[in-house]
Amino acid sequence: MTTRAFPARRVVSPAMRAARRRENIAAYLFMAPSLVFFLGFVIFPMGMCLVTSFFNYTMTDFSWIGLANYVEMFQDAIFGKALVNTIVIVLVSVPVTCMFSLWVASLIYKMRDRHTSFFRCVFYLPVVTGSVAVTVVWKWIFNNYYGVLNYVFKNLGLITRNINWLGNPDYALACIITILLTTSVGQPIVLYVSALSNVDHSLIEAASVDGATNMQVFWKIKWPQVMPTTLYILVITTINSFQCFALIQLLTSGGPNNSTQTIMYYIYYNAFKLSRYGYGSAMGIILAIIIAVFSAIQFRLAKTDNG
Amino acid sequence: MKKLIALFLCLILALPAFALADDQVEITLWTYPIGSWGNAETVDGIIKDFNAVHPEIKVTVQYLDYQSGDDQVTTAIEAKTTPDIIMEGPERLVANWGAAGKMLDISDLWADTKDDIIAASAAVEAACKNAEGVYYEYPLCMTTHCMVINYNDFEKAGALQYIDEEKHTWTTEGFLNALDALNAAGFAPTAVVYCGGQGGDQGTRALVTNLYSGQFTAPDHSAYTMDSEANIKALQLLQQLVNDGKLDADAGIVAGDEIALFCNSTISIGFCWNASAAVSNKASLAEDVKVFPMAFPSDDGVPELQGGIWGFGLFDNGNEAKVAAAKTFVKWVCDDPAQAAKSVYASGFFPTRASLGDIYAGTDKAENGEYAIFMPYLGDYYQVTPNWAAQRTEWWNLLQRIFAGGDVAAEVAVYCQNANK
């Protein structure tokens, strides 16, 4: 007969247990405000959104309809168009934002502090400027009749007659993506400048002494060390792109011919203009699932040993 | 000692509530920017005058805009935080929130003024109630939406011959001739059919329905009738004019942008105008712009203009004291002998009571009175047709598809199918 050896239980005195309990209570109390806020304004609305997506919830009705909202959604041609537009926005704006931010950050992080700060301010300005003000300026730039873009392009000989940038389905989505880029690059640039500044300089010097080229230094030393920042930027930019709303509402209302319709705007339209809260909730659930899938893929692809 | 201090503090905190409960009933008013009813200085002045007579009622005001106002009301309805009074028109008060059972029946307010209102316009009385005769709006003011031309451009182009300067009307043929004359004289773009959103869509609707005397809805407001022969013909004409370069269509702008184009002299004709727009845009007119309001062109020369009727509705918040106070306020604003004309004057529009007569004669807004010439052309108030909110989106989407080259009859069929759901 053999006996199993159990690790000796640590004897905890009642006084220690009481002290630990006090610590736990204190910790929970510190967490409580954030927890209440998170539960009340994130978890509870998400739960409500899921529940109402199974109801015909309007201003006058609240009746169970099971999966009917979801069935209708996948038969809704405008939802399909909005989904495609949203994915196009994400697939274009996320890589461009990341690459452009990294490129700008690579150029400015080595400059003198004063100059780095100046460029950080310049690129961050559209982020802190209200979206209404930004769109008013862009609306003027894109104006069909007296817009500065048409004026410049005509004087450069690139076009012969004015282009209706926001009123033409061929250009409208590209214009929205362009504006989105200007408001999206500020934060990634600041983060990349910070991440590149924190790269271990001794490794770069050692590689240079060993004959590594600038490209090799970047890809072998800097890139792996800024990967956690890149992952964060990818996820945040993806979520922001999926939730592109204010620009659409202020500039195109989803037109022309639904060419700038996005899921977020279509949710808003159904919930607030048509009072179809249940249908809007169902689209919100699908959008959340799509964002979660995209984020998971990004985490998977950008996974590193230290990230 | 600590208990005493705590009790004392609680009493101090509760004092304002007791004071209000004893002396005042507090009600809230939400108002859309209907002329100067969107101006805090004007509304504060009205409330100050009201409190001189009714100090027992405190009125708190929140100002809405047409961009986000509906969203705020929708949110308030779901959160059960609606105001006691809201100022807007029948398309919202009657056809939307009233039909959804959110508004109070205010038929009692009409008891002593119904005849006076009908004498001003029977269409107003009809628009303020639902099919069962329940009144959800108590009207204050009304107008007819018209269009506008730059008189100077027309004069230079020799196009004045195509308009009736006395009646401010023209025929469809005259409109087409005027476009030709303007284009020949180099005034291009002449006008823009805006369709970038629902803002100011009353202008494009009136343009289409008047060209060949079509109707936007069935007479009983049971369906949208853009698929009539007259309306399809009108849309085909507009499509042709755009294709020929005699007229512009722009899916990137709404009425506000079009008004700006008119005011800065980029275009010679505007499709979205009224008495209030004339006042609010006066300061932004370019030097060479001379505003000349016009009715929409029609084949028979007799236009049918879309009306705007604004007034007050009461949300059902289940508090009788507040309802009584709200009714007192609304009645005072609309019918008090010393106040009624001032309330209408603030809107820049016309009274819905015949007894008030011409309120603008001899005032700073005397030119507003000129727009009264259009009141006889007030057409059917079809904005109370069911599914109105969805129809509005379908409308500008229809125009976008047509001006992008879509087949008019086919696109109209899609519009009618969606709008009449």
Q: Are residues B124 and B266 in the same domain?
A: no
Q: How far apart (Å, rounded) are the C-alpha atoms in residues A92 and A113?
A: 32
Give me the pLDDT at residue A298, please.
84
Q: Are both B64 and B164 inside the same structural domain? A: no
Q: For the segment B294-347, what is each residue's pLDDT rounded down to a tens digit?
A: 999 999 989 999 999 999 999 988 899 999 999 999 999 999 999 999 999 999
How far, CA to CA in Å, does B51 sit from each of B6, B46, B60, B311, B328? 36, 9, 12, 20, 11
**Number of domains making up chain B:** 2
Write out the DSSP string of B114-141: HHHHHHH-HHHHHHTB-TT--B--EEEE
Q: Decide if B400 is inside a domain.
A: yes
Looking at residue B1, its pLDDT comes to 55
CB of B145 within 8 Å of a chain A CB? The answer is no
Residues B296 and B314 in one domain: no
Asked if A166 and A19 sit in the same domain, the reply is no
Report yes or no on A8 lying in a domain. no
The model carries a pTM of 0.85
Do A94 and A186 fall into the same domain? yes
**B382 located within any domain:** no
Residue of higher predicted confidence among B93 and A6: B93
Instruction: Tell me, yes or no, if A45 comes closer than 8 A to chain B by beta carbon.
Output: no
**Chain centroid to CA A41:** 19
Q: Are residues B403 and B359 in the same domain?
A: no
Q: Are residues B219 and B334 in the same domain?
A: no
Q: Does residue B16 lie in a domain region?
A: no
CB contact under 8 A, A169 and B397: no
Instruction: Identify the pLDDT of residue B349.
Output: 92
CATH number, domain with residue A163: 1.10.3720.10
| Least reliable range by pLDDT among A5-19, B94-108, B145-159 | A5-19
Residue B283 within a domain:
yes
- Within 249-278 of A, beta carbons closer than 8 Å to B belong to 252-253, 255-258, 269, 272-275, 277
Q: Look at the block and give the residue holding tokens 């999926």.
A: A242
Task: Decide if A56 is inside a domain.
Answer: no
Does a structural domain hold residue B7? Answer: no
Asked if the Cβ–Cβ distance from A255 to B396 is below 8 Å, we say: yes
B389 reaches A (C-beta below 8 A): yes
The residues near B178 (Cβ < 8 Å, ≥ 6 apart) are B154, B157, B159, B162, B163, B170, B269
The pLDDT value given to residue A255: 84
Does some domain include residue A2?
no
Domain co-membership, B200 together with B57: no
Q: How many domains does chain A have?
A: 2
Binned at pLDDT 50, 70 and 90, residue B403 comes out as: very high
Q: Give the DSSP per-residue string, B291-344.
A: EEEEPPPBTTS---BPEEEEEEEEB--S-HHHHHHHHHHHHHHHH-TTTHHHHH
A24 and A115 housed in the same domain: no
DSSP-derived 3-state class of residue B80 = coil
CATH number at residue B136: 3.40.190.10
For strands B138-144 and B85-88, give the pairing.
unpaired
B202-222: pLDDT as tens digits: 999 999 999 999 999 999 899
**Is residue B133 domain-shared with residue B150, that is, in the same domain?**
no
Is residue B197 within 8 angstroms of chain A, CB to CB? yes
Q: Note whether residue B18 is domain-resident.
A: no
pLDDT band at B421 (very low <50, low <70, confident <90, very high): confident
Do A153 and A212 lie in a common domain? yes
Phi, psi of B364 (to 5 degrees): -65, -20
Average pLDDT across chain B, whole number: 92
pLDDT at B14: 55
A46-72: buried (b, 16+ CB within 10 Å) or exposed (e) per residue? eeebeebbbbbbebeeeeebeeebbee
Question: Do A38 and A113 lie in a common domain?
Answer: no
The pLDDT of residue A34: 94
Note the pLDDT of residue B131. Answer: 86
Whether A80 and A166 share a structural domain: yes
> Structural domain of residue B255, as residue ranges?
146-304+387-419
Q: Are residues A181 and A283 in the same domain?
A: yes
Residue of B nearest to A140 (CA): B257
Q: Cα–Cα distance between B324 and A184 in angstroms, integer?
A: 52
Residue A55 within a domain: no
Per-residue pLDDT of chain A (307 residues; tens, 9 = 90+): 455 555 556 677 888 889 999 999 999 999 999 999 999 999 999 999 999 999 999 988 999 999 999 999 999 999 999 999 999 999 999 999 999 999 999 999 888 888 888 988 888 888 888 888 999 999 999 999 999 999 999 999 999 989 999 999 999 999 999 999 999 999 999 999 999 999 988 998 999 898 899 889 989 999 999 999 999 999 999 999 998 999 999 999 998 989 999 999 999 999 998 999 999 999 999 999 999 998 888 888 876 554 4
My answer on whether A232 and A157 are in the same domain is yes
CA distance B252 to chain A (A): 4
DSSP string, A274-298: S--HHHHHHHHHHHHHHHHHHHHHH
Residues B106 and B194 in one domain: no
B235 and B295 in a single domain? The answer is yes
A108 lies in the same domain as A151: yes
How many Å apart are CA B167 and CA B295, to the nearest integer?
9
Number of cross-chain residue pairs from A and B with Cβ atoms under 8 Å apart = 74
pLDDT score for A4: 57
Residues A174 and A295 grouped into a single domain? yes
| Separation of alpha carbons B359 and B342, rounded Å | 8
- Does B381 reside within a domain? no
**Domain of A79, in residue numbers:** 75-301
Do residues B229 and B177 share a domain?
yes
pLDDT on residue B2: 58
Residue A199 counted as domain residue: yes
Distance CA A306, CA A300 (A): 13
Q: Say yes or no: B170 and B239 in one domain.
A: yes
Q: Is residue A101 part of a domain?
A: yes
Examine the pLDDT at B22 and tell me if it is beyond 60. no
B261 touches chain A (CB under 8 A): yes
pLDDT for position A125: 87
Q: pLDDT: is B348 or A302 the higher one? A: B348
One domain, residues A93 and A25: no
Q: Which residues, in sequence order, are CB contacts of B339 under 8 Å at separation 6+?
A: B46, B49, B50, B332, B333
Which residue in B has a C-alpha nearest to residue A255's C-alpha?
Answer: B196
What pLDDT shows up at residue A6? 59
Domain assignment of residue A1, yes or no: no
Nearest CB partner across the interface for B404, out of A166, A169, A274: A169
- Write the secondary structure of A171-239 as one string of H (helix), E (strand) and C (coil): CHHHHHHHHHHHHHCHHHHHHHHHHHHCCCHHHHHHHHHCCCCHHHHHHHHHHHHHHHHHHHHHHHHHH
Residue A133 lies in a domain: yes
Look at residue A307 in the predicted model and tell me its pLDDT.
Answer: 47
Instruction: Report, in this order, helix, strand and coil percent for chain B, each rounded to 5.
Output: 50, 15, 35
Looking at the fold, whether A128 and A83 belong to one and the same domain comes out as: yes
Region B11-24 average pLDDT: 55
Is B260 in the same domain as B400?
Answer: yes
Give a yes or no: residue B168 inside a domain.
yes
Look up the ipTM and state it. Answer: 0.83
